[in-house]
């Protein structure tokens, strides 16, 4: 079942612009359809938005990353992300080792006490 963004904004008592900004940060394109006030979210997408309101650390931030080269440990890949300077190491799944160099993919940032760690989106499933 799908939920309209205006109904979700009313349920969460926030403005539609704030809800759409949060959805852009948290959701993947498969979780929403439409533009502006005519946006519909899937149940999973609406749950992710609700979780991001309750506990912001439970939902990872998503970034577009470009693979530069393989790290000495093949489970990691050196990447660049536009919002960060320099090279960043990203954990990748075993089946994608050696295939992401020179390609764009979605990386998730997980923040904890020790710092920020990046991983490929396939590792979060």
Q: What is the pLDDT of residues 47-100, one digit of tens each?
A: 888 888 655 444 668 899 999 999 999 999 999 999 889 999 999 999 999 899
Q: Under a CB-based contact definition with an 8 Å cutoff, are residues 69 and 90 in contact?
A: no
| pTM metric for this prediction | 0.54
| pLDDT for residue 123 | 86
| pLDDT for residue 103 | 96
Provide the β-strand partners of residue 73: none
List Cβ neighbours of 26 (8 Å cut-off, separation of 6 or more).
Answer: 48, 49, 52, 59, 62
Task: Convert the pLDDT of each residue in 21-41 to its tens digit.
Answer: 888 888 888 888 988 889 999
Task: Convert the pLDDT of each residue in 76-85 to its tens digit.
Answer: 999 999 988 9
| pLDDT for residue 59 | 60
Average pLDDT score over the chain: 88
């Amino acid at each position: 079942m799908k939920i309209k963004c205006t109904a979700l904004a009313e349920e969460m008592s926030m403005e539609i612009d704030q809800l759409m900004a949060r959805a852009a940060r948290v959701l993947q394109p498969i979780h929403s359809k439409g533009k502006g006030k005519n946006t519909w979210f899937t149940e999973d997408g609406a749950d992710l938005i609700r979780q991001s309101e309750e506990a912001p650390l439970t939902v990872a931030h998503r970034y577009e990353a470009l693979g530069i080269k393989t790290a000495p440990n093949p489970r990691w890949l050196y990447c660049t992300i536009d919002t960060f300077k320099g090279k960043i190491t990203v954990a990748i799944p075993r089946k994608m080792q050696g295939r992401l160099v020179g390609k764009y993919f979605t990386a998730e940032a997980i923040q904890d006490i020790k710092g920020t760690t990046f991983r490929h989106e396939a590792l979060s499933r």
